[in-house]
Amino acid sequence: MARIKAAALPLSEPEDPNEEDDEDEDENEEDGEVQSGSGASGKRTRAQKAAARTQQELLERLQAIPDAVAGLSQVCPALGTLFELKFGEVSVIQGKVAPDVYRRLFLQITAEESVLQMTTKPALDALEVFVTQPTHRNASALVEIPAIHELLTHEKNSTLLFPETTVEVCRWILDRGRMVLSSLIKGPEPPKIDEGVEKPWTETGCCYGVPKIRERPQYPKLKHDLNNDVGGKRGAKCSKFYSQYGERRLTGGIMGEGRNDVFSALITRWEKAPKRVIYDFACALGPFSLTTSTLWVTQNVQQLPFSKLIAMWTPV
């Protein structure tokens, strides 16, 4: 994954040679170089350093491309083809810059997370329709997979079909999502409800108006959900202590910070998932959004102290 990111990330922006650089001046003095009154020698040194850094980044990028293409091709030949077309050696040497939609797609694919973070089961159904019939209309239904929808919108052509490579990438994502989802589902029938598990509402502080009709799903094969995380405070802008809630999987619930009673109720007591959920504590959206196509709406991200967490789940 590191090779793929190194091969796809853009080079550093060129620096302004007119900016002052005390570090360059110190280095020049140590080398015995005399600085002129105008500082022209220092400016040349800064420009030379910037050029050398750009050349080094270019060399590292070119060196990373073959391994990135080979690794992606082993997973999915179409992925390797698409990556080489947009970020390959020829494109780099010719100075071509791939549109950001391709960069975001590969960063999403190489992210250290499950494919189910990229797409839900209902979205997989829509993706299957598109793969079977890759029309513009079917592509427009993939809004729940932002990376794919954005890519298809970019490649839309009024007279031609979508590129076969792109369709094959979508097919691979579909197959991968189906495989992971089927491996997580233990059986077709939901587990039986144990009525004796729940404690009186006077003890829990939660009073539900309807009986439980299903148990909360568990995903024991997701290794990252089996153990506590190790960390500290979750971001400088977040007033909650991540070690208190996130590490112990207690995030969520408007009945109290660190509780997930509300989202538990949506899963265990609602016969049908709501069409919209308006909420301002995005930490709790993860488990429920894995299994539904509900529209999630949050408040203005910039006005909340949990901007990083909210941004993770705000729909595009």
> CA 311, 215, 288 angle in degrees (round to 5)?
10
> Which residues have C-beta within 8 Å of that of residue 241, sequence separation ≥ 6?
233, 234
pLDDT reported for residue 195:
60
Residue 52 lies inside a defined structural domain of this protein? yes
Considering only CA atoms, which of 277, 78, 105 is closest in space to residue 168? 78
> Does residue 199 lie in a domain region?
no
> Looking at the domain assignment, is residue 103 inside a domain?
no
pLDDT at residue 12, rounded to an integer = 53
Claim to verify: residue 301 and residue 216 sit in the same structural domain: yes
Residues 158, 220 within the same domain: no
The structure tokens 């030379």 sit at 48
Within a domain: 189: no
What is the structure's pLDDT at 204?
Answer: 64
In a domain, 110, yes or no: no
Spatial separation of the C-alpha atoms in residues 284 and 243, rounded to whole Å: 15
Q: What is the dihedral of CA 268, 273, 276, 277, to 10 degrees?
A: 10
55, 72, 98 — which closes off a domain?
98
Q: Supply the pLDDT for residue 57.
A: 82
Q: What residues are paired with 272 via a beta bridge?
A: none
- Predicted local confidence at residue 132, as pLDDT: 94
Q: Mean pLDDT score of the chain, rounded to an integer?
A: 70
C-alpha closest to that of 45 among 15, 60, 25: 25
Residue 81 within any structural domain of the chain: yes
Q: Is 124 a domain residue?
A: yes
> Could you count the other beta carbons within 10 Å of the beta carbon of residue 281?
20
The predicted model scores a pTM of: 0.52
What is the Cα–Cα distance from 139 to 148, expressed in whole angstroms? 9
Question: Residue 243 has what pLDDT?
Answer: 52
Residues 302 and 220 in one domain: yes
- Asked whether residue 255 is assigned to any structural domain, the reply reads yes
Residues of the chain with pLDDT under 50: 14, 17-38, 229, 231-242, 251-258, 300-316
What are 276's strand-pairing partners?
A: 295
Domain boundary among the residues 65, 98, 131 is at 98
Ramachandran angles phi, psi of 296, nearest 5°: -100, 130
Neighbours of 19 (CB within 10 A): 8
Which of 67, 98, 129 marks a domain boundary?
98
Residues 119 and 83 in one domain: no
CA distance 82 to 182: 28
Query: Do 122 and 74 share a structural domain?
Result: no
DSSP SS3 for 115: helix
Residue 278 DSSP label: E
Q: Does residue 84 sit in the same domain as residue 13? A: yes
Domain count for the chain, please give it.
Answer: 3
pLDDT of residue 295: 66
d(CA 294, CA 273) in angstroms, rounded, equals 7
- CA nearest to 67, candidates 93, 89, 100, 86: 89
pLDDT number for residue 139: 93
Same domain, 136 and 170: yes
Q: What is the pLDDT of residues 149-207, one digit of tens each?
A: 999 999 887 556 899 999 999 999 999 999 888 887 766 566 566 665 566 767 766 67
Residue 162 and residue 216 in one domain: no
Q: Domain of residue 86: give its range.
A: 2-98
Closest CA to 172 of 124, 139, 219, 133: 124
The whole-number pLDDT of residue 49 equals 83
Please indicate, yes or no, whether residues 124 and 59 belong to a single structural domain of this protein: no
Residues 218 and 293 in one domain: yes
